[in-house]
């Protein structure tokens, strides 16, 4: 069967580059293979991180950070969670620059292997009861490797898919890899939902099984990515000898304002995602007594609901623009911040699950819109580095810090707003305010960026930027 080709517009080819431009034509098979390659990698990243989220909230405290005070154990557990986020900008800088220098495919192979191996190793770590202080040290080491790989994996998936997708449907196709995010989250939640039937999961080796399953996802992802073509945009950059020897230096020289805008956008999405998928699960377990399967079930259903929101958000961004779509979902999260945390504080299992599903639709919508929006904001020569640096710096400020700050809020209110349980329940008020502030930052940032829908991704300048003279290659 003859494969349909999708032409991607760029600058006018010259005779020396016409052959490479022809090679950069994308067939429908190439397009869908890229979607699968990006989605499977995203699935592994978020499977790993959802596993760690749930494990931090449910079992890592007694296993690796034993303490007579459960609140202190929770803070220590989320502290290790934060370390994985803190190292992500390093991975973003390192692998993002390599992606702009040597190509998207090369880096996506490296990051998937690094993340998968680190996650699998967590499944064989000894616990504090076996080796003492070495247990948390080894856990933190694996978490650092996870963070390094994750620092460029999602950015690479977004850039790859945006550069493969046809411009008129770029929002839809660039949102598809984020279905992998849901797949990873749902897989992790489903496994923990089954495992928490065990009375005390931390006292059995079953907690290791979800991490060991990462090896299976690695194998599938590597097989798919080995068959992947290089990004058409990068092929044209190489043909025109426009690849930078130091993409990071070029990014810092020309794109600091754009990086700051990406950070502002991500405060709403990444902060909300981490808080609702990690801290909220811990809150409803410790403050309201809804333990066991409630947390994993809530994430499982919320992830399933995202399967409808993500492609819809991509379609909406193609029709109405990236900025209006992103702003609408950020406002949605802002409006629901206080109602959501109030419902979670009531201790009603059904209401808590429904509210988390409803609220996370805002996160899924922003997440999906970013698929096309962030790559479109940057020029072709430093696109991978720009998306990676912007995403991962914000991941530290918003996603990494948020659960740690939230756990500290819970501990503080428990000590100062009433005796024990009563004070912990009242933590919903400052927690809601925290989500509202993060959401508001995202809303305000949308008024500072240009509309990028349908942008030519061969453009060397950032969206809305004054064209610069490219003197040195």
User: Mind listing the pLDDT tens digit for each residue in 269-288?
Assistant: 988 888 887 778 777 776 66
Give how far Cα 430 sits from Cα of 202, 372, 423, 424, Å. 31, 33, 12, 11
Q: What pTM, to 2 d.p., does this model score?
A: 0.80
Tens-binned pLDDT, residue by residue, of the chain (473 aa): 444 444 444 444 444 444 445 445 767 888 888 888 888 777 877 787 777 767 776 677 777 777 655 556 666 666 666 777 778 888 888 999 999 999 888 888 888 888 888 888 988 988 888 888 888 888 888 888 888 887 788 888 889 999 999 999 999 999 988 888 778 877 877 777 777 666 566 677 788 888 888 888 788 878 888 888 888 899 999 899 888 888 989 999 999 999 999 999 999 998 888 888 777 877 777 666 666 567 677 777 887 888 889 999 999 999 999 999 999 999 999 999 999 998 888 878 888 888 888 999 999 999 999 999 999 999 999 999 999 999 888 888 887 777 777 777 777 776 766 544 555 567 788 889 999 999 999 999 999 999 999 899 999 999 877 665 554 44
The domains of the chain, with CATH numbers, are 26-232+248-448 (1.20.1250.20)
Which residues 6+ apart lie within 8 Å of 472 measured at CB? none
CA separation for the pair 215, 102 (Å, rounded):
26
Q: What is the mean pLDDT of the chain?
A: 81
pLDDT at 457: 92
Contact 367, 181 (CB under 8 A): yes
Helix 88-102 with 70-86: angle, nearest 10 deg: 20
CA separation for the pair 321, 330 (Å, rounded):
15
In terms of Cβ atoms closer than 10 Å to its own Cβ (0-12, 13-18, 19+), residue 141 is middle
What is the phi/psi pair of residue 90, to 5°? -65, -45
């Amino acid at each position: 069967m003859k494969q349909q080709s999708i032409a991607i517009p760029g600058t006018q080819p010259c005779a020396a580059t016409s052959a490479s431009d022809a090679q950069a034509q994308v067939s429908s098979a190439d397009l869908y293979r890229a979607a699968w390659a990006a989605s499977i990698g995203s699935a592994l990243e978020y499977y790993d991180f959802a596993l760690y989220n749930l494990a931090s909230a449910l079992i890592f405290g007694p296993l690796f950070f034993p303490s007579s005070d459960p609140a202190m154990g929770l803070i220590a557990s989320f502290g290790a969670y934060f370390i994985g986020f803190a190292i992500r900008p390093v991975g973003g800088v390192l692998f993002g620059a390599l992606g702009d220098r040597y190509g998207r495919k090369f880096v996506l192979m490296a990051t998937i292997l690094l993340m998968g191996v680190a996650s699998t190793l967590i499944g064989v770590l000894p616990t504090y009861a076996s080796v003492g202080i070495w247990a948390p040290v080894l856990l933190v080491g694996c978490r650092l490797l996870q963070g390094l790989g994750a620092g460029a994996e999602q950015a690479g998936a977004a850039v790859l898919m945006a550069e493969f997708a046809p411009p008129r449907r770029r929002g839809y196709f660039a949102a598809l890899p984020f279905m992998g995010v849901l797949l990873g989250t749902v897989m992790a939640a489903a496994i923990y939902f089954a495992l928490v039937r065990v009375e005390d999961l931390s006292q059995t080796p079953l907690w290791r099984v979800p991490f060991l399953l990462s090896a299976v996802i690695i194998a599938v992802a590597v097989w798919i990515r080995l068959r992947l073509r290089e990004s058409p945009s990068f092929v044209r950059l190489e043909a025109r000898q426009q690849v930078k020897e130091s993409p990071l230096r070029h990014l810092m020289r020309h794109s600091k304002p754009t990086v700051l805008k990406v950070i502002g956008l991500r405060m709403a999405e990444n902060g909300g995602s981490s808080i609702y998928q990690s801290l909220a699960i811990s809150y409803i377990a410790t403050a309201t007594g809804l333990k066991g399967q409630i947390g994993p079930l809530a994430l499982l259903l919320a992830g399933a609901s995202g399967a409808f929101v993500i492609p819809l958000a991509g379609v909406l961004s193609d029709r109405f623009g990236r900025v209006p779509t992103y702003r609408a979902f950020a406002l949605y999260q802002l409006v629901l911040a206080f109602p959501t945390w109030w419902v979670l504080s009531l201790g009603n299992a059904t209401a808590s699950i429904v509210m988390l599903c409803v609220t996370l639709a805002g996160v899924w919508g922003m997440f999906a819109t970013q698929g096309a929006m962030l790559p479109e904001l940057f020029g072709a020569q430093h696109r991978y580095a720009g998306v990676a640096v912007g995403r991962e710096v914000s991941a530290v400020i918003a996603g990494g810090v948020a659960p740690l700050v939230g756990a500290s809020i819970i501990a503080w209110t428990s000590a100062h707003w009433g005796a024990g349980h009563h004070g912990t329940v009242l933590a919903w008020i400052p927690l809601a305010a925290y989500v509202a502030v993060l959401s508001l930052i995202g809303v305000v940032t949308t008024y500072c960026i240009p509309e990028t829908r349908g942008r030519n991704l061969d453009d060397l300048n950032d969206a809305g930027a004054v064209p610069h003279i490219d003197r040195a290659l």
